[in-house]
Structure 1
Amino acid sequence: MSVHKHAGQKASPSDLENIPLVVSHYYLFQPDVKEIAQRVKFGTSGHRGNASNLSFNEHHIIAICQAIAEYRHQEGIDGPLFLGKDTHALSEPAFATALSVLIANNVPVIVQEDLGFTPTPVISRLIVDYNNSNAANADGIIITPSHNPPADGGIKYNPPHGGPAEGEITALIERRANDIIQRGLLDAKQSSYQHALTSPLLRKQDFIGFYVAELSKVINLKAISEAGVTIGADPMGGSGIHYWPAIAEHYHLALSVVNENVDPSFSFMTLDKDGKIRMDCSSPYAMASLIELKDSFDIAVGNDADFDRHGIVTKTGGLMNPNHFLAVAIHYLMTHRSWPEDCKIGKTLVSSSMIDRVAASLNKPLAEVPVGFKWFVEGLHSGEYAFGGEESAGATFLALDGSCWTTDKDGFVMALLAAEILAVTGKDPQQYYNELAQSLGEPCYKRNEAVASYEQKQVFSAIDINEIEEKTLADEPIKEKMTHAPANGAAIGGIKITAENGWFAARPSGTEDIYKIYAESFISEAHLDLIIHEAQHIVNKLFTKNKA
């Protein structure tokens, strides 16, 4: 994909969405689930869509929340449901819809005390803490499309383990929700929003105070404070906007919020690689404004709209490659935490093999899973996994005492970990990575995207590994071909092919008409380009062979 001519530049008025129109379409447009694109469809992180395209409308949220209420009843989940939302324009009306359906179904709901914004990791921590202390099972819903453009909406369900719902659960919710829409919402219960707000089933809680106080259980905040590490935090208009000042005050941190804007059009953003507004904290184009401030702080951090992702900016290297920071975080944690010797390092199969080399150097077990944070949940919840992370800049890890912190990605703790690393070691994360690369090798990593039809995307889920006849990858013998992840045997929804010094993985997007090729080389950029070229050739052969 070529870089848009305005990438990295401040959004102009012509780039902004008509927010009143977007919200109107949420209420006025009604989906037809006979159309594939208009159905409820849970990807790796919930259902996402666009009201104008009839993929995220009031009917979707009514049906999804009704399906969740029914699932809770069937499973005997009788604790409260923590309900949160981010700052996207459609999150506000979807929050109101969700609350009205949940209350009508006699679901006890807990929300932020001022009905304000709540980050995804906060909901996860609330669920984990509540269920550690109570017999009843709590769960949660977060209204967010994560880093997606301003016109998009999204909704995620986190069952009592606190993390993203497993595929079996989302499949049930998905099927039931589409059935409810197909039946004209006849099976859905819904009270008025006004009634829901005054219902005794609704409780309000200070989520900010709770989460801020809990942070000392997972991060060495005293070290950050005593070292005087200066931190520049850009909430990027997201749901953690009121959390950073509270964290700074509570722990006496030299932390400044560099962008206090909250605007559903996200007009303050710089444009992403494709010229769209996207709150992607791993993108140098979307993070251009913060990168400009790198010399003003020891560490600068950015987060996406629901704060489950992190971007780390250092004086010595600018915006860190997400894979590089994952490797640094893992090495630091494994050498600075008193966790069980046999705890595992979790990574997705499209994350850098630098993580494999770090794990091997520390003699730590590695667990490689398919794309999607849900695959880490069980291990994080039990303490079997010390760390779970994915290449798209999302991760979490155990509390200081080795107990479960969150079972969802936590952008706050990853950002604060960068400051802890500097405070404790005297090296910023980029300097730390440079030392790792010097001893373990320097990889080149790239992700490419290509257009794929619905039929072509279906080919990936039915690949027979024996169809791939190639014996070499970029002039090296192929060591492994896989369609299932080593850690759990789960289907990866595509293929991964590995050689001694390089690999690629190809899989379809769950939300867009594209497929993605992830590739890495420990030899050179030219070697990486050859891997990608051969990967595209292999995928095209599969498309042709399967007549997609």
Structure 2
Amino acid sequence: MNERAGTPAQQSDLIDVEALIRAYHELRPDVAIPEQRVVFGTSGHRGSSLKTSFNEHHIAATTQAIVEYRASQGITGPLFIGADTHALSAPAMTTALEVLVGNEVRVLVDEFSDFVPTPALSHAILRWNNSPERRAEGEADGIVVTPSHNPPSDGGFKYNPPHGGPADSDATSWIAARANELIAGGLREVRLNEASAVETYDFRGAYVADLENIVDIEAIRRSSIRIGADPLGGASVGYWGAIRDHYGLDLTVVNQEVDPRWAFMTLDWDGKIRMDPSSPSAMASVLAHRDDFDILTGNDADADRHGIVTPDAGLMNPNHFLVVAIDYLFRHRPGWRVDAAIGKTLVSSSMIDRVAEALGRRLWEVPVGFKWFVPGLIDGSVGFGGEESAGASFLRFDGTVWTTDKDGILLCLLASEIRAVTGKSPSRLYAALVEKYGDPVYERVDAVATPAQKAALGRLDGEAIAAAELAGEPITATLSRAPGNDAPIGGVKVVTEHAWFAARPSGTEDVYKIYAESFLGEDHLRHVQAEARRIVDEALG
């Protein structure tokens, strides 16, 4: 924890926006250098122009690759595109538009030149493709220009195919490989034209008007609860006021400032500016208002993550709110399929497992990455999909799909519905669940690893774990594939009756991540974490 974590950003912490944008246009990547290649992680290609990892050539080549990919898949409809408030998002969107127009792709941008949250773009794609009349014009897909909650110096570029969610690894691997090929060829095969002749779409209006079909807005309005919403300078800044006005809620937009430097932020745990609504350090200025509202929320830069603050507990741990949301939704959504499963990533809390069992619902445990929830959300076989990193979405009242990407705005509104319907804060409801199912302690830490060790960990088979015990308990399972869909987890998970740990390599740093949880207290968690390092190190040799 950095000594300045949770304190206001100072001038020395702020980026030079002009230098960042200048580097975007001037620096040329060399794809022979691994750090300068196009690489798609779980949420698209990310990097910084100053490090020559997110520059004009990257975006031009990636967009051309997307054009070629969608053509190979027979995607002939419009492409929705939107961007968040990061400094690199606007120039990257301009580059993308030039390539899309140059390739004669039908493009839809925001009608009011507003920022576009990730869930609003997913909603737009699905709305188009679920309309027989519009679908007859060709399936739609989309691009979101965002690095999510990453620092102000970063840029991000994500492709969402016609299912509306993050593209799967088959698509992203092809796009990245083709983009790097185009860069190596000096962009000679990239077609560009002036970014004109684009159509518009009211992302905000369509999204806001549809919310009454997934959240009990009337219950919120009747309760007259006081709601505070902080966009943290992100793409939801225009959405919260629109929600208030459209539905007549007692809702205050706590901070309406947009600043690509994020000068108003408090520093995250490591001393960096990071718009993470699940971090107490990043949310320190928001937490100062906790007593002013019945429910206070935060979103990250593209609004796909949520932070829930209550007067009695402050900022809720993301796992805790996921548990409350699941328990509430599966008791208050009679229109969902009776066999609709509860989706969780394998590094989310086992408290979810216990709640799922009590609800009599099937648990669907998948690898890290929201893309795994997409098929189940589309056909209604998964009622709720959530990640420990404060990302989730769920079905409409009638059991049909809402978004297939994470929706932080939706989860924030759900917190208000829960408060309005039950009369209790989500944090008090979690305390009641703890009395029934136990009180887990959860933490993620990093351990140093060489590139070779990281690669080995990503390929590790659960059978390579020789240990029989973990922190004094017999090991009941060693997993290298997810129980829900048998997909490789890119690491290993070790489980006992009262604890578990999972180890996965970092995609950007020379470390591996250890997620661990214990129902036997913090001392036992420390024991689990220490043994996790030893077990993984032995397996890696």
The interval holding the TM-score normalised by the smaller chain is over 0.9
Match among 363, 366, 369 for residue 366 of structure 1: 363
Alignment of 1:204-353 (within 5 A): 204-338=200-334, 339-353=336-350
Cα distance in 1 between the residues matched to 2:266 and 2:358: 39
* Letter aligned with residue 220 of structure 1: D
1:397-450 residue CA offsets vs partner (Å, 9 max, x unmatched): 000111000000001110000000010000110011001110011100000013
Match of residue 162 from structure 1: 164
Match among 378, 382, 394 for residue 381 of structure 1: 378
Cα distance in 2 between the residues matched to 1:446 and 1:440: 19
Deviation at residue 4 of structure 1 after TM alignment: 0.5
Cα distance in 1 between the residues matched to 2:209 and 2:461: 51
Deviation at residue 366 of structure 1 after TM alignment: 0.5
Match of residue 402 from structure 1: 399
Match of residue 145 from structure 1: 147
| Number of positions where the alignment pairs a residue of Structure 1 with one of Structure 2 | 536
* Letter aligned with residue 506 of structure 1: A
* Letter aligned with residue 188 of structure 2: L
* Letter aligned with residue 35 of structure 1: I
Match among 154, 179, 182 for residue 180 of structure 1: 182
Alignment of 1:499-538 (within 5 A): 499-538=496-535
Match of residue 130 from structure 2: 132
1:480-536 residue CA offsets vs partner (Å, 9 max, x unmatched): 001100111111000000000000000012233321100000011000000000011
Match of residue 436 from structure 1: 433
Q: Secondary structure at the match of 1:511?
A: coil
Cα distance in 1 between the residues matched to 2:112 and 2:408: 23
Match among 54, 59, 73 for residue 61 of structure 1: 59
The answer to whether the 8 A contact 2:447-2:513 is kept is yes
Cα distance in 1 between the residues matched to 2:447 and 2:86: 27
Cα distance in 2 between the residues matched to 1:393 and 1:259: 21
Q: Secondary structure at the match of 2:500?
A: strand
1:337-392 residue CA offsets vs partner (Å, 9 max, x unmatched): 01111001100000000000000000100100000000001111111110000000
Match among 13, 22, 43 for residue 45 of structure 1: 43
Q: Secondary structure at the match of 2:237?
A: coil
Cα distance in 2 between the residues matched to 1:377 and 1:151: 30
1:262-314 residue CA offsets vs partner (Å, 9 max, x unmatched): 00000000000000000000000000011111000000000000000000000
Cα distance in 1 between the residues matched to 2:505 and 2:177: 21
The answer to whether the 8 A contact 1:47-1:155 is kept is yes
1:476 lines up with 2:470 in the alignment: no
Cα distance in 2 between the residues matched to 1:344 and 1:87: 35
TM-score by length of 2: 0.98
The answer to whether the 8 A contact 2:463-2:478 is kept is no
Deviation at residue 470 of structure 1 after TM alignment: 0.3
Q: Secondary structure at the match of 1:461?
A: helix
Deviation at residue 205 of structure 1 after TM alignment: 1.9
Cα distance in 1 between the residues matched to 2:22 and 2:321: 41
Cα distance in 1 between the residues matched to 2:26 and 2:450: 29
Alignment of 1:18-97 (within 5 A): 18-97=16-95
Cα distance in 2 between the residues matched to 1:114 and 1:413: 22
Deviation at residue 460 of structure 1 after TM alignment: 1.4
* Letter aligned with residue 163 of structure 1: G
In structure 2, the gaps of 5 or more residues are: none
Match of residue 103 from structure 2: 105
The answer to whether the 8 A contact 1:320-1:430 is kept is yes
* Letter aligned with residue 264 of structure 2: F
Cα distance in 2 between the residues matched to 1:514 and 1:24: 32
In structure 1, the gaps of 5 or more residues are: none
**Stretch deviating more after TM superposition (131-140 or 319-328):** 131-140
The answer to whether the 8 A contact 2:366-2:482 is kept is yes
1:192-230 residue CA offsets vs partner (Å, 9 max, x unmatched): 3xxx22x2xx10122211111011111000100110011
Cα distance in 1 between the residues matched to 2:416 and 2:393: 15
* Letter aligned with residue 33 of structure 1: V
Q: Secondary structure at the match of 1:276?
A: coil
TM-score by length of 1: 0.97
Cα distance in 1 between the residues matched to 2:416 and 2:461: 46
The answer to whether the 8 A contact 1:459-1:542 is kept is no
* Letter aligned with residue 103 of structure 1: V
Deviation at residue 463 of structure 1 after TM alignment: 1.1
**Stretch deviating more after TM superposition (315-324 or 461-470):** 461-470
**Stretch deviating more after TM superposition (452-461 or 68-77):** 452-461
The answer to whether the 8 A contact 1:44-1:510 is kept is no
Q: Secondary structure at the match of 2:360?
A: coil
1:142-168 residue CA offsets vs partner (Å, 9 max, x unmatched): 000000000000011000000000111
Q: Secondary structure at the match of 1:389?
A: strand
Deviation at residue 461 of structure 1 after TM alignment: 1.9
Cα distance in 2 between the residues matched to 1:170 and 1:57: 18
Deviation at residue 329 of structure 1 after TM alignment: 0.2
Deviation at residue 468 of structure 1 after TM alignment: 1.4
Cα distance in 2 between the residues matched to 1:347 and 1:381: 16
Cα distance in 2 between the residues matched to 1:123 and 1:467: 42
